[in-house]
Structure 1
């Protein structure tokens, strides 16, 4: 008769699923990351635009442009985003499961 061996993985308790508040926090963080990414990707598109002219906002527009880009990015994420937050969230959940 052969000896039976038990894998150490079978002795380890199964990783618990993240709790709802923790999962919500991870989702919030992933969406914030996506918004920051989108904002940084939009920034070069607006750097060369002149703020002078008949309907330009002058120095005030140039000063507050980064805030406008941040809000545009947040609105994009709220409307469904570009799919980056789902990937980031999945990786964060994997990392959390590996830690437990």
Structure 2
């Protein structure tokens, strides 16, 4: 897993940043899984070591999933980094919006509820 730069200007906690990093890597893993499945689908059964068949199709599916997850966890193709920066921006905007809504509710809950 890539380290998160603690000097980066953000209002999110380290735990939130780690959660976002994990989610971004999982999304990149899903994308890479789709790519590797398509790559393996282009291999004909008689060109493989197993000779084709249902068992090999099942094995190839698991292999592509593991390959994709390993690639994503070890830097991938950079998609997780891009996703993470966008997810941080969205989370900070949501936090700001929630904080503004909370402060407006407190300010408007005076004696007359206005």
TM-score range, shorter chain: 0.7 to 0.9
Residue 51 of structure 1 contacts residue 59 of structure 1 at CA under 8 Å; is this kept in 2? no
Q: TM-score, normalised by structure 1?
A: 0.74
Match of 2:30 in 1: 36
Match of 1:79 in 2: 74
Q: TM-score, normalised by structure 2?
A: 0.66
The structure showing larger relative contact order (alpha-carbon pairs under 8 Å, at least 6 residues apart) is 1
Match of 2:88 in 1: 93
Match of 1:10 in 2: none
1:54 Cα deviation from its structure 2 partner: 8.2
Distance 1:74 1:90, change over 3 A: same
- Unaligned runs of at least 5 residues, structure 1: 1-15
Aligned residues: 85
Following TM superposition, the consecutive aligned residue runs of length 4 or more in structure 1 with deviations greater than 6 angstroms are none
Q: Which of 41, 55, 63 matches 1:68?
A: 63
